[in-house]
Amino acid sequence: MHIVLLGPPGAGKGTQAEMLSEAGDLAHVAVGEILRQAIREKTDLGIEAEMYVEQGELVPDEIIAGVIEERLRADDAQKGALLDGFPRNLTQAEFLDQLLKKLGLSLDAVVYIDVPFAALIRRSTGRRICSGCGRVYHVEFNLPQRDNVCDECGGELIQREDDREETVRNRLEVYLEQTGPLVDYYDERGLLRRVDGDQSIDEVFQVLKTMVLESHS
């Protein structure tokens, strides 16, 4: 089974992808995490990608394409994979079509997690990251026991540059412009499934589990 999870930044794709991949025994192909690791390790790829991330822009296709092919060829992806954060535009979608065909695979479903613009801004700008261990908190949904102090390591909580409102708005506008057409692309092919993402994590997961995993079991 091969599934694509679509949705704007802040829609909860990463959380749902982790839960779905575990429930369905699928490899979680998280493009964002792969890139963040490269940024942390200061690889050539990471240095180049960081420039785009800090400006709230999408990382260019040529940086991402090779990463996806390598990940889908990995041993843990042979039973299937859930792609989180890819494709993000029509060019990448066409690349994915060609890659899956080359590997003798095909997409089973494309799920779009739909969340209102205002809710996305609130979710993203409220995020706080521990400067020590990287644990994630939120000023509304996941507060630490002590203000601005990490429960795990006692580190200071900070707001990442790409979680500031101006950057978040720019990132959402870029998403709508470049990734929005994917909804129509997959809808025309009969692959698109829509989910209301403006509800609790568990509620969204139960809908996804029924819609994707159980319907393809």
* Enzyme catalytic residues: 13, 88, 127, 160, 171
Angle between helices 61-72 and 90-102 (to 10 degrees): 30
Return contacts of 34-41, CB within 8 angstroms, 24+ apart: 34/67, 34/71, 35/59, 35/63, 35/64, 35/67
157-158 and 127-130 strand pairing? antiparallel
Q: Alpha-carbon distance 96 to 75, whole Å?
A: 19
Q: Alpha-carbon distance 48 to 35, whole Å?
A: 10
Q: Alpha-carbon distance 103 to 100, whole Å?
A: 5
Q: Alpha-carbon distance 139 to 11, whole Å?
A: 17
- Secondary structure of residue 64 in the 3-state scheme: helix
Closest CA to 123 of 134, 115, 132, 114: 115
